[in-house]
Structure 1
Amino acid sequence: MKKREIGVCVIGAGRAGMIHAANFRKNVPFARLVAVVDPIEETAASAAKELGIDRYYTDYRQALLDAEIDAVVVVTPTIYHRDIVVAAAQAGKHVLCEKPMAISVRECDDMIAACETAGVTLQVAFMRRFDESFVEAKRAIDEGAIGEVVLVKSLTRGPSQPMPWMYDLAKSNGPLAEVNSHDIDTIRWFSGSEVSEVYAIGGNYRNRHVAADYPDFYDNVSLTARFASGAQASIDGAVAVRYGYDSRVEILGTEGVIFLGQTHEKTTIVAGPDRLLRRPFMNSWRSLFKEAYLAEDTDFVAAILEGRPPRVTGHDGKMAVRVVEAGNASIKSGAPVRL
């Protein structure tokens, strides 16, 4: 008899980790949140208390020995993804791995091979593919609503200061990975083709206080790409922009265009005696993509129970990392990079 409930453990109790954990605790059908993991015991204990569960670990390897855990959600700094995913696969646990999938294509290959060998599901957390408006746009493209895709433009700008480890490109791969992985997956998905050439430029404009220690760090990046199909793309990424969380997409076709993006967090508009209109700008990705996270988590469990491939695969994660590597190489060399 097939198991009808999946025991889940979330590894990493930060902002994104707690979104996943809350979903599996209350809102994902046929799933049960068994435990959380965080190397800082105070954080792990606090997360477990907030979630209303009685089990937490400070070492993911202990969690992998727990027979009640069938699947893990990996929400740690990128440098740990490869080792955790490979160990999880070897322990027979299904895996939902947050983006960016890994630091290098080689690490992605290790993760994919481990999950294939173990026969477990590997899904990469590109939640925008589960956002209702993104799904509708993809359907419109596939139905020929705008003709042949010519250009995909995608931008993500975040208000937050980078976490200290993110300044070190050896640990984070920079904003192209941490911020723009979603954009890279978006342009691949909407174009239906693989990137064949990139040219990128980056600069540090808002975090100059770290320039001496991290001279390669950039907080603003612009990447232009060509696809194997001949279509074009551009990506704009930024951190610490302060004005709000900004995520927008434009898909230009031979016969039309599609616009995606919501810059306002609320529908309320205030008009005062100064005759100015005021409307709050989108504050966080947690607000904009709240429903997409839930749809992503729900589909992960459904894929496991139905024995089908996930909607976002390890290959998708690997292709995004491939573009990140090429983009960073282009920033460093000042020249286009062919893939």
Structure 2
Amino acid sequence: MVNICLIGTGRAGMIHGRNMAGKIKNARLIALCDPMEENLQKAQSELAVKYVYRNYRDALANDEIDAVVIVTPTAYHKEIAIAAAQAKKHILCEKPLTMDEQECKEIIAAAKTNNVKLQVGFMRRFDANFQEAKKVVDEGAIGDVTLIKSLTHGPSQPKEWMYDISISSGPIGEVNSHDLDTLRWFANDEVASIYAIGGNFRSPEVKENYPDYYDTVSMNIKFKSGILGAIDGAQYVQYGYDARAEVLGTKGSILIGEQGKNNVLIAQQNHQMTRSTMNSWTHLFREAYVAEDQAFVDCILEDTTPLVTGYDGMMAVKLVHAGLTSLLNNRIEYVS
């Protein structure tokens, strides 16, 4: 068994917490940690674990804990991850790994020095549909990959801090980091250049205080191999959560995902046909999170490399910065 401590018991953290508490083979959730007493008590009332901590350093001092799942605000990822590595705890860290490439390098180095696993939470790689598409691409069924397109649209109105792109990076960081990782994964290559354009269409009331904020972005990407990429992202679309991708090859194409929540299509006497849209990423990728958590435990027990490594997490951070720099300066940004 791998004994797990969940650090961060908010909405995203509790997805991992519920998985580790009963859905993951060979895993046991034994500890919760959160500085917010209300969150901690609520999580403990549901999960009833053996240990509860307000300070993550106290949790890391517990020799019964083998691994941690870090789902805190990004600003705390570096200090917690490095401390966890030094305490010989394996690490699953939600994306983004950090907001800074150098900090990512420090986390990666700490994990390597202390011989612990470091997995970053890009759950799309564990989604059954994305995995099937990746398998088909790698088998050459659509020929050589020529163009990869990916989009993410989020329905919710941004929280106040998200309007400050120096903190959030806007949609490029908040939603498109998943798309950037998806493109790297399917291309099996590194990005050579990014050109991004965007605008604020849904939140005009914040333009005075946050003149650089954008809620919609379009990015054109070129990989070192010549493969082309296209990403679009948006926040506060309101119609529902939307995550889709397309891979075009020399001999075929693959479409991944759809806007509908299910396959129920309702036809009524007013001659209108309706279908529910996807309401949330928590619903769309529910099973992907289970597979992600299972893969983390498996890589510890089997001593294998995580599917999403610290390097993958660092490259996503690097590409987010490149995309944002391109958008703000209205120029092609070359990635070294």
Common fold: TM-score over 0.5: yes
In the alignment, residue 240 of structure 2 is paired with which amino acid? Answer: G
**Residue matched to 2:238:** 242
C-alpha RMSD over aligned residues: 1.3
Aligned 8 A contact 1:79 1:172 in 2: no
**Residue matched to 1:22:** 18
Instruction: Indicate which of 2, 18, 26 corresponds to 1:6.
Output: 2
Instruction: Indicate which of 276, 288, 299 corresponds to 1:303.
Output: 299
Normalized against structure 1, the TM-score is what? 0.96
Aligned 8 A contact 1:78 1:171 in 2: no
Tell me, in whole angstroms, the C-alpha distance in 2 between the residues paired with 1:252 and 1:109: 33
Tell me, in whole angstroms, the C-alpha distance in 1 between the residues paired with 2:36 and 2:231: 36
* Cα drift, residue 163 of structure 1: 2.8
Measured against aligned partners, the alpha-carbon deviations of 1:168-216 in whole angstroms (never above 9, x if no partner) come to 2232222211211110010011111100000011222222333333222
In the alignment, residue 293 of structure 1 is paired with which amino acid? Answer: Y
In the alignment, residue 119 of structure 1 is paired with which amino acid? Answer: N
Does 2:67 match 1:65?
no
Aligned 8 A contact 1:35 1:48 in 2: no
* Cα drift, residue 262 of structure 1: 2.5
* Cα drift, residue 165 of structure 1: 2.7
* Cα drift, residue 79 of structure 1: 1.8
Does 2:287 match 1:291?
yes
Normalized against structure 2, the TM-score is what? 0.96
Q: How does 1:1-339 map to 2 (within 5 A)?
A: 5-339=1-335
The ranges of structure 1 where at least 4 consecutive aligned residues each deviate by more than 3 angstroms after the TM superposition are: none
* Cα drift, residue 54 of structure 1: 4.8
Tell me, in whole angstroms, the C-alpha distance in 2 between the residues paired with 1:300 and 1:18: 16
* Cα drift, residue 167 of structure 1: 2.4
Q: Specify the SS of the correspondent of 1:335.
A: coil
In the alignment, residue 113 of structure 2 is paired with which amino acid? Answer: T
Aligned 8 A contact 1:78 1:172 in 2: no
* Cα drift, residue 75 of structure 1: 1.1
In the alignment, residue 289 of structure 1 is paired with which amino acid? Answer: F
Tell me, in whole angstroms, the C-alpha distance in 2 between the residues paired with 1:162 and 1:10: 26
Over the matched positions of the two proteins, sequence identity in percent amounts to: 53
Gaps of 5+ in 1: none
* Cα drift, residue 41 of structure 1: 0.5
In the alignment, residue 43 of structure 1 is paired with which amino acid? Answer: N
In the alignment, residue 37 of structure 2 is paired with which amino acid? Answer: E
Tell me, in whole angstroms, the C-alpha distance in 1 between the residues paired with 2:205 and 2:8: 28
Tell me, in whole angstroms, the C-alpha distance in 1 between the residues paired with 2:198 and 2:72: 25
Report which stretch shifted further, 72-81 or 310-319.
72-81
* Cα drift, residue 48 of structure 1: 1.3
Tell me, in whole angstroms, the C-alpha distance in 2 between the residues paired with 1:325 and 1:90: 28
In the alignment, residue 67 of structure 1 is paired with which amino acid? Answer: D
Q: Specify the SS of the correspondent of 1:304.
A: helix
Measured against aligned partners, the alpha-carbon deviations of 1:274-330 in whole angstroms (never above 9, x if no partner) come to 011111101111111111100010010010011111111011111111110100110
